[in-house]
Structure 1
Amino acid sequence: MLGMTGRQLAMSAVTAALGLVTAVAGLAGATDVAIAALGLLLTGLLLLVIDVRRRQGELAGRLKKMAQRQLTDLRRTERLQHLPAEVEAATRRSLSVLTDEFQLAVGRMETAGTSTLTGLAQERLAAAERHVEILGHLADVTATAKGVADLKKNVAAAADGISGLRREVLGNLDDANRENKRQQVALRQRVDKLAYEPVRQVQALMQLMSRVNARAALPATGGWAMEPSALLRLVQLVDDTRPGLVVECGSGASTVWLAYALEAQGRSGRVVALEHDEHYADETRHMLSSHGLTDVAEVRHAPLVEVELAGQVFNWYQPDAIKDLKDIELLLVDGPPRASGPRARYPAVPLLGHRLAPVARVVLDDVDRPEEQEAAEAWLTEVPGLTRDTAGTDRSAVFAYRRPR
């Protein structure tokens, strides 16, 4: 129930009092007083009704205004509900609609004049402007976020690339350091060797010279030819084993020294040298002839041809040059030259191994080189009965062979 104002309460009290007076006057027989009181009562009731009606009108007006305000708020709420729940969901369509509404409101305001601009239009205009501003910021933020995401991906990819490059560089540095240390050790060894090697080679050459009565100028040693220390070990091996057949892969100074060593044995031992280069073969023949050793040593021209071993192709001496050789008691491997192909000297033992005597020696020159070391290891692995002798020099290795039973 609606509350009564103070004035309505007072009028109600007066009316009630007049009603009581009228009733008392009627009961007392005071007709005039009762009529007068009744008139006043009616007048009071009329005034009360009028005041109530006026009050109701005011309330109705207020209620109407409240209803209009609620309707306006409801419409605003409905409009706000149609806005995106998240700013990121704003699209060009919403921007277009708001832009159209904004332009329509501006057109209406321009038509009606600035004097007709209402609070609602101002609010709508402000809301549209704020939304446009928010969308602009959203576009900037979205673009920035996308750029940051792409940048992060690029940075991550670059970081992975740098990490891989760093590992590769560090690995290369480690390899380079190891190789540098190896070269330093090898260089130090060579420098140390220079301090005594010339003296050692001179001593070996003097011992060689004392063993023979040369009938012509002896060929130079060292360089492409075997060193004096290796030649001395070879001559000592001939003295110790007294071979009947010596086969040499390559020819030159070593052929002359071997021939002298065999001649000193006073028996029918001989040397067969295989030479791929016809010019060098002729030079060696000339040296043997000048020393009177053609009865002891023979040089065979054997051009290099392709031979296949275990699925690999090598350049080696023509097989026809060795087909009559058997019971080789000393095999000297000093050719073909390294320039003829990879592992150039490896085929010697696989191709001549079955032609070795039951007990024989194999000498490999230039064993300080990696390819010759690889060939030596392969021989020891593949040839039964072949072992490495402790005797040798810095640049040559000696192997003992005993045919398995």
Structure 2
Amino acid sequence: MKIRRYTTTDATFEASLKQLLAFEGAQDDQVDAVVAGILNDVKKRGDAAVLEYTQRFDRLSADRMDDLELPQARLTEALGNLPTEQREALKQAAERVRIYHEKQLMSSWSYTEADGTMLGQQVTALDRVGLYVPGGKAAYPSSVLMNAIPAKVAGVQELIMVVPTPGGERNPLVLAAAAVCGVDRVFCIGGAQAVGALAYGTETVPQVDKIVGPGNAYVAAAKRRVFGVVGIDMVAGPSEILVICDGKTDPDWVAMDLFSQAEHDELAQAILLSPDGAFLDRVQASIDKLIKEMPRAEIIRTSLENRGALIQVRDLDEAAEIANYISPEHLELSVEDPITLTRQIKHAGAIFMGRQTCESLGDYCAGPNHVLPTSRTARFSSPLGVYDFQKRSSLIMVSAEGAQTLGKIAGTLAYGEGLQAHARSAEYRLK
């Protein structure tokens, strides 16, 4: 397998890197047109439209929306029927994710000035959140954990999960994860129609305040369109991993770490930076050896050949500079002293420190969230967390004495802006 090989000393390196990172994230016009029609229909006809699209796309014969809602007993049953090892792994992962996210809880605060004026911030949770979970054979219980647990920790009152069940196929691990996380209601609907139902509300599906969770191109386009009516977490691009290695890690480990993201889909990106050219050769040899035993070998091959790269850098300092430019979703620091190198990293969704810390541990059970910014958006955004399910209200309680000072300041500025009512409103409080 031929993976691109670069050296930072090449005169064309910067241009080559930009081309490697280029990803056309613009939505497909045809997909967007289909989604617009579905959303408008759901907005107008509610349950009837959701039922029709579910019957058409998921091949379900439900006559009423009530038939598409799963009772809590079905979730509990799914959890109880799991093999013991799977059930315990799910519970242990959920507990680790919960403990980590409890550290993120924000608190309300206030302070009182000398004249008695009180200022502060009140933190409250969202009332109701919608969680979209891919369904059928391509089902991800880890997505349930990572989206539902921070919402529950934040204090969200009601969590509504939608999951497509094409041909009636329900993934027991997904339902079990919903039980472990305390999801309140589950509807067997998917696609743009599910996003529309959550955003606008129907006779059966309540309107939510925010929609989170991954989906296909139609789901992503629908989330873009309903943003503003409701909040959304993010519109994620293909998965990414960037590994920085000093050349002393087992090359088989590094190769498999690259595979772990490349196997997601053909557009995923896996890049290795190392100052050791001979080590890059060994990783290439490991890739060629290990690809043969991978069930998703063709996806990995396409991903690595089209969007992967092995890059020789001058030193680890330069590797950190390049990492900050790439701003990867997942960054592995497979080096002797990862803590020191971490201090040079400004932009990354999640940083995996040390040779033992493979990215897949973060996907499932380490504790931090695996919903991460992609496509260089880590330059200005953060992983999903409890703070995404809380909001802040400013608190202002001005004392009679404070109104004398603030009223004059506000009045002067308001007259300067030509807003006389603002000014006079403030001046009415002056003695």
* TM-score bracket for the superposition, by shorter chain length: under 0.3
Larger radius of gyration: 1
Task: Kindly indicate whether structure 1 or structure 2 has the higher relative contact order, using CA contacts under 8 Å at least 6 residues apart.
Answer: 2
Select the structure that is richer in helix: 1
